[in-house]
Amino acid sequence: MTTLFHSHRLGDLTLPNRVVMAPMTRVRAAAGGLATASMATYYAQRATAGLIVSEGVQPSLIGQSNPGTPGLHTDEQVASWRPVTAAVHTNGGRIFAQIMHGGRVSHPDTNGLRPVGPSAVPAVGDVFTPTGPRPAPVPRALETAEVPEHALSYAEAARRAVDAGFDGVELHGANGYLISQFLSTNANLRTDRYGGPVANRIRFAVEAVSATVEAVGKARTGIRLSPGATIWGVRESDVPELYAALLAELARLEVAYVHLEATAEERILLGLRRAWPGTLIVNPVPPMGPKQTGRADADHWLGLGADLISFGRAFVANPDLVERLRTGLPIAPVDEATYYQGGDAGYLTYPAYRHTV
């Protein structure tokens, strides 16, 4: 029986366990989207994970969603990431960069640019800005001729990620950001080759992944998806058909993994497991819900055929999460007030478990 603590081959990497640190926004980057020494310490502290997936990293200035997030579109940003990846590798870890284009989930106050999206339909809710939450603005609908350059931005960021020392990249195709917006039936109202039927709505995702595979190789390319999620107001009216078609294209490209969030009914996710022949990472608990992923959730999905299990919030307060899971030690609670406040408090201040005599 496969357990969390068996090794797994992922592309050219051998993961010592099946615990993945999920990507989590922490908004600790320096001005100019630069990675910092604190970020190096943060990721190095968690290097016992089989695989770390970084916070979302913008592939372009217009792709920036939140203030305080890092980028991979300038030489200075690449240089700033090298100490981070080196620290993880020195501690025996492996790290992929999550490439995240926010699309319509952004604001001019954050990056000075009007957000873009598949259609002129705003996200639902307030977006983060340097001066606090603001209503999501109406994005500018991309012209057909512009769409490929945004797909290529993922590949360009992937090249920079590899140059910065990352072991690979994960395209953020989930949670209502740009790839997810193109997959949607209410954020994407296009009538050109990128909108309408399923074959057209998956086109942007396939072009972004295909370009990334060409740039850095299939063994270094993964993608995260959230079937049926309604985050930031996106909706998909045909989840099984949509994701089966997308997975068929991803299988053709032989990407390293698909990372599914548990945002659809289990029967739908099991159908996608059967449709996907490669490595599957499952995040067993819906994002932003009241429950954190625990050992029982992980074992359940390993039993259903997942290869790797991603843990999000549990990794924030437990840098030694793998050992705690292995030995049944208590999982420390997280202080949600420090998620996005900046600084080292609630970032570098969570200790490993302290045994008492």
What is the number of alpha carbons within 13 Å of residue 115 lying toward its C-beta?
29
The model's pLDDT over 103-129, given as tens digits with 9 standing for 90+, comes to 999 999 999 999 999 999 999 999 999
Separation between Cα atoms, residue 106 and residue 127, nearest integer Å: 6
What is the number of alpha carbons within 13 Å of residue 160 lying toward its C-beta?
24
Q: What average pLDDT does range 118-145 have in this prediction?
A: 97
Residue 28 pLDDT level (bands cut at 50, 70, 90) = very high
pLDDT at residue 236, as a whole number: 97
**134 in a structural domain:** yes
The model's pLDDT over 171-184, given as tens digits with 9 standing for 90+, comes to 999 999 999 999 99
Question: Residue 164: pLDDT above 60?
Answer: yes
Segment holding 88, helix H or strand E: helix 75-90
Query: Is residue 17 within 8 Å of residue 10, measured between CB atoms?
Result: no
**347 in a structural domain:** no
Query: Is residue 347 within 8 Å of residue 340, measured between CB atoms?
Result: no
Question: Residue 356: pLDDT above 70?
Answer: no
**44 in a structural domain:** yes
42, 154, 177, 243: the active-site residue: 177
Query: Is residue 23 within 8 Å of residue 54, measured between CB atoms?
Result: yes
Separation between Cα atoms, residue 29 and residue 14, nearest integer Å: 30
Exposed, middle or buried, 219 (CB in 10 Å: 0-12/13-18/19+)? middle
Beta strands in the chain (DSSP E): 8-10, 13-15, 19-21, 51-57, 95-99, 116-117, 126-127, 134-135, 140-141, 168-172, 221-225, 257-261, 279-283, 308-311
CATH code of the domain in which 85 resides: 3.20.20.70
Range in 104-118, 210-224, 283-297, 313-327 the model is least confident about: 283-297
Tokens of 137: 């603005």
**181 in a structural domain:** yes
Q: What average pLDDT does range 58-84 have in this prediction?
A: 98
Mean pLDDT, the chain, rounded, equals: 97
Range in 133-147, 254-268, 284-298 the model is least confident about: 284-298
pTM value? Answer: 0.97
pLDDT-above-90 percentage for the chain: 96
Distances in whole angstroms, Cα of residue 63 to Cα of each of 21, 84, 102, 280 = 23, 22, 5, 27
* Pick from 91, 164, 104: nearest CA to 140: 104
Q: What average pLDDT does range 79-83 have in this prediction?
A: 98
**348 in a structural domain:** no
**346 in a structural domain:** no
The model's pLDDT over 286-312, given as tens digits with 9 standing for 90+, comes to 887 778 899 999 999 999 999 999 999
pLDDT at residue 290, as a whole number: 77
Q: What average pLDDT does range 340-347 have in this prediction?
A: 94
Return the biggest CA–CA distance within the chain. Answer: 68
Buried/exposed code over 64-85 (b: 16+ C-beta within 10 A; e: otherwise): bbbbbbbbbbeeebbebbebbb
Question: Which residue segment(s) compose the domain that 243 sits in?
Answer: 8-338
Q: What's the CA angle centered on 57, arms 73 and 199, to 5 degrees?
A: 95
How many domains in the chain? 1
For the chain, state the CA radius of gyration: 19
Question: Residue 316: pLDDT above 70?
Answer: yes
pLDDT at residue 160, as a whole number: 98
By three-state DSSP, how is residue 295 classified? helix
**349 in a structural domain:** no
Residue 246 pLDDT level (bands cut at 50, 70, 90) = very high
Q: Could you tell me the end-to-end alpha-carbon distance of the chain, in angstroms, rounded to an integer? A: 34
By three-state DSSP, how is residue 268 classified? helix
Helix axes 147-163, 75-90, angle to 10 degrees: 50
* φ/ψ (deg, to 5) at 221: -125, 125
**30 in a structural domain:** yes
Question: Residue 357: pLDDT above 60?
Answer: no
Q: 177 catalytic, yes or no?
A: yes
Distances in whole angstroms, Cα of residue 264 to Cα of each of 14, 271, 312, 343 = 30, 11, 18, 35
Query: Is residue 225 within 8 Å of residue 261, measured between CB atoms?
Result: yes
Question: Residue 38: pLDDT above 70?
Answer: yes
Segment holding 243, helix H or strand E: helix 239-253
pLDDT at residue 138, as a whole number: 98
Q: What average pLDDT does range 335-356 have in this prediction?
A: 91
